[in-house]
Amino acid sequence: MTRVAAAVIRNESGNILICRRGAGGSCAFLWEFPGGKLEPGETPAQCAARECEEELNVGIAVGPLFWETRYSYPEREVALSFFHASIVRGVPEKRVHRELKWVAPPELCQYEFCPADQPMIRKLAEGETEWTIS
């Protein structure tokens, strides 16, 4: 099982940052949240922060865990942890993604996300998650 952590970053306007994958690999050209695979000895929250630095060149404040799920893709099973987050340093840059976009939560369902993200997308779009970052 592959463990993955991702950050759902909200800005001061309440919009959420989504990232579009490039060609190749699983979920090519689909939308996702910045994140990636945990490294040995790393917590999911540490992973989310590291991946945002690597993928977007931003520092984030990682908030509470608000969604965990498992999903079986044809090539592997993943365990995903999603954290609320906010940017504390920098402006997001396209380092590995094809496109970056700030989207209002109700509009998230208009974008095609990786299958494992779908239940969480509905919750965000319907406003079912609390948003607190300490």
Inter-residue contact 50 to 59 (CB < 8 Å): no
Phi, psi of 4 (to 5 degrees): -130, 145
Number of domains in the chain: 1
CATH number at residue 41: 3.90.79.10
User: Is 50 among the domain residues?
Assistant: yes
**Whether the predicted pLDDT of 133 surpasses 50:** no
User: Is 13 among the domain residues?
Assistant: yes
pLDDT of amino acid 132: 46
User: Is 130 among the domain residues?
Assistant: no
Model-level pTM?
0.91
User: Is 119 among the domain residues?
Assistant: yes
Q: How confident is the model at residue 126 (pLDDT cuts 50, 70, 90)?
A: confident
Which residues span the domain enclosing 38?
2-125
User: Is 133 among the domain residues?
Assistant: no
User: Is 134 among the domain residues?
Assistant: no
pLDDT of amino acid 128: 66
User: Is 102 among the domain residues?
Assistant: yes
Inter-residue contact 61 to 69 (CB < 8 Å): no
Kindly report which listed range (18-22, 25-29, 30-34, 40-44) carries the lowest average pLDDT score. 25-29
User: Is 42 among the domain residues?
Assistant: yes
Question: Amino acid letter at 74?
Answer: P
Burial 80-100 (b: 16+ CB within 10 A, else e): bbbbbbbbeeeebeeeebeeb
